[in-house]
């Protein structure tokens, strides 16, 4: 491992660009399509309250990351902040957790890029194709676009987000107009939350996963104009936009199902079931909106995650080959290709494992999406926790003059506290396979990464040197 002096092209992105990319990475379409059914089945009619609770948690996390960015913007984001706050070993551990967590997460998006196309064709034609080839082709196309430069990919993502959101809003408005006589504030009533606080807690991890991608902006700091202002603004704007959209979509869906949450839970994609019921043949637009959402999330996620890997490579926290930039496009192509190969490899391993065990009946893309999403969330929660832990140390050591007990201690502590609920819920005993194994896999992974981090820093004492340099 060694540090390289390569840098990304600065000044390409403004607040609107970073906000659009972040909203796309959050994926208010894809995550709502495939996540809300379980949230509603768990929390009941008042499921929007679970989304609002997750919004508070994400806002605390976003505030913490914004404080880091105001002090020292870096494409390394979490990796940089933990390394500068807690040291090289913690930095290497975070880099490896980021690599694993976000690669597993993007594998779920790769899956649904082809999965939703195949599902749409099966819904509206007599053709029932396998989703695998579509996944490979669409993933390759999205990565090709991403490799051509962050400005071009961000413009494409922004256009896709606008079209996707416009269609989803139109569907919701049509449903609410049709059901105008039945409109009610019940979805926001605590009394209608199944199991009260227990129901809220059970649905909280899934609602939190709907927001994963909110951390997209900081990794684009090096390519942004005035990142100390641009990135925090984009963070807050994107979280607010996503929260408003997700709550509105949830309210419209519950209303569209006439407050029958058991029907929502039985539907694999409740929003599309609702669109089919109310729009008939025109519901194809809602399916297209879903495809656009998946592709936008794929491109935005690839942009963000490749920058994290790139920064880890150039500072010696990850293999040095990841830390190279293609001079013509200013894109970390090696990091992009590694992330793509690893994500598709995860899908391949999952596919082969089902063939070996003979469990071919469950090889649907929705199942793999759910499994990858859950496993990725557990790993990413460790990254969030390390980031919260590092802020007070980081600010006290490097920016003591601007240290604030409220902003740099109290808020990160509150943010850390909100992570306890999803940790507990995701690690509850008695879950069906393979979810019952995920907590043990995550713990084994963390232990292995801790050992690797110790060995890496012992062999390369200067790993991470130069992280946190002023942008």
- pLDDT confidence of residue 470: 41
- pLDDT confidence of residue 361: 56
For residue 278, the Cα-to-chain-centroid distance in whole angstroms is 30
CA distance 418 to 383: 14
Assigned token pair, 270: 């409740």
Residue 360: pLDDT over 60: no
- Taking 3-state DSSP, the helix, strand and coil percentages for the chain, each rounded to the nearest 5, stand at 80, 0, 20
- pLDDT confidence of residue 430: 81
pLDDT band at 359 (very low <50, low <70, confident <90, very high): low
Query: Tens digits of per-residue pLDDT, 243-290?
Result: 999 999 999 999 999 999 999 988 989 999 999 999 999 999 999 999
- pLDDT confidence of residue 186: 94
- Which distant-in-sequence residues (6+ apart) come within 8 Å of 46 by Cβ? 186, 187, 188, 189, 190, 191, 192, 193, 194
Residue 1: pLDDT over 80: no
Dihedral-angle region of residue 428 (phi above 0 means left; psi in -120 to 50 means alpha; beta otherwise): beta
Residues 210-233 as b or e (16 or more Cβ within 10 Å = b): bbbbbbbbbbbbbbbeebeebbbb
Which CATH number is correct for 15-459, 3.40.50.620, 3.10.310.30, 3.40.830.10, 1.20.1740.10? 1.20.1740.10
pLDDT band at 137 (very low <50, low <70, confident <90, very high): very high
Residue 4: pLDDT over 60: no
Report whether the peptide linkage leading into residue 32 is cis, meaning its omega lies within 30 degrees of zero. no
> If you average pLDDT over every residue of the chain, what do you get?
91
Query: Tens digits of per-residue pLDDT, 418-462?
Result: 988 888 888 888 888 888 899 999 999 999 999 999 999 988 887
pLDDT band at 86 (very low <50, low <70, confident <90, very high): very high
Q: pLDDT exceeding 70 applies to what percent of the chain?
A: 96
Q: Could you please report the per-residue DSSP string of 327-373? A: TTTTB-HHHHHHHHHHHHHHHHHHHHHHHHHT-GGG--HHHHHHHHH
For residue 361, the tally of other CB atoms under 10 A from its CB is 7
CB 182 within 8 A of CB 255: yes
Residue 468: pLDDT over 50: no
Domain boundaries, the chain: 15-459
Radius of gyration of the chain (CA): 21
User: What would you measure as the largest C-alpha separation in the chain, in angstroms?
Assistant: 69
């Amino acid at each position: 491992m060694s540090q390289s002096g390569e840098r990304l092209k600065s000044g390409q992105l403004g607040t609107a660009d970073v906000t659009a990319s972040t909203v796309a990475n959050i994926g208010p379409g894809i995550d709502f399509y495939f996540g809300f059914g379980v949230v509603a089945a768990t929390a009941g009619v008042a499921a929007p309250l679970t989304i609002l609770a997750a919004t508070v948690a994400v806002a605390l996390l976003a505030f913490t990351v914004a404080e880091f960015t105001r002090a020292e913007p870096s494409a390394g984001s979490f990796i940089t902040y933990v390394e500068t706050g807690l040291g090289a070993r913690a930095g290497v551990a975070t880099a490896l957790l980021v690599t694993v967590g976000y690669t597993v997460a993007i594998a779920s998006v790769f899956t649904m890029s082809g999965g939703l196309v195949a599902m749409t064709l099966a819904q509206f034609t007599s053709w029932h194709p396998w989703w695998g080839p579509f996944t490979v082709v669409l993933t390759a196309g999205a990565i090709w676009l991403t490799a051509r430069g962050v400005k071009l990919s961000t413009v494409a993502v922004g256009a896709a987000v606008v079209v996707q959101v416009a269609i989803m809003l139109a569907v919701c408005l049509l449903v609410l107009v049709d059901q105008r006589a039945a409109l009610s504030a019940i979805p926001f009533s605590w009394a209608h939350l199944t199991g009260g606080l227990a129901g809220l807690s059970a649905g909280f991890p899934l609602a939190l996963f709907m927001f994963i991608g909110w951390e997209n902006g900081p990794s684009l700091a090096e390519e942004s104009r005035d990142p100390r202002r641009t990135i925090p603004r984009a963070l807050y704007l994107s979280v607010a936009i996503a929260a408003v959209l997700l709550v509105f979509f949830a309210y419209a869906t519950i209303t569209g199902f006439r407050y029958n949450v058991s029907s929502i839970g039985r539907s694999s994609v409740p929003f599309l079931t609702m669109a089919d019921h109310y729009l008939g043949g025109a519901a194809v637009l809602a399916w297209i909106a879903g495809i656009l959402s998946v592709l936008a999330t794929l491109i935005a996620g690839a942009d963000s995650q490749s920058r994290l890997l790139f920064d880890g490579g150039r500072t010696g926290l990850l293999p040095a080959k990841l830390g190279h930039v293609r001079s013509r496009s200013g894109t970390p192509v090696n990091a992009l290709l590694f992330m793509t190969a690893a994500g598709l490899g995860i899908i391949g391993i999952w596919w082969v494992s089902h063939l070996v065990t003979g469990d071919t009946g469950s090889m649907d893309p929705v199942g793999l999406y759910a499994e990858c999403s859950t496993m990725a969330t557990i790993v990413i929660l460790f990254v969030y926790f390390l980031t919260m832990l590092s802020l007070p140390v980081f600010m006290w050591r490097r920016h003591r003059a601007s240290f604030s007990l409220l902003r740099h201690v109290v808020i990160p502590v509150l943010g850390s506290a909100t992570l306890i609920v999803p940790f507990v819920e995701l690690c509850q005993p008695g879950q069906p396979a393979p979810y019952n194994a995920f907590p043990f896999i995550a713990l084994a992974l963390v232990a292995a990464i801790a050992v690797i981090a110790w060995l890496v820093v012992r062999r390369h004492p200067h790993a991470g040197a130069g992280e946190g340099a002023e942008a």
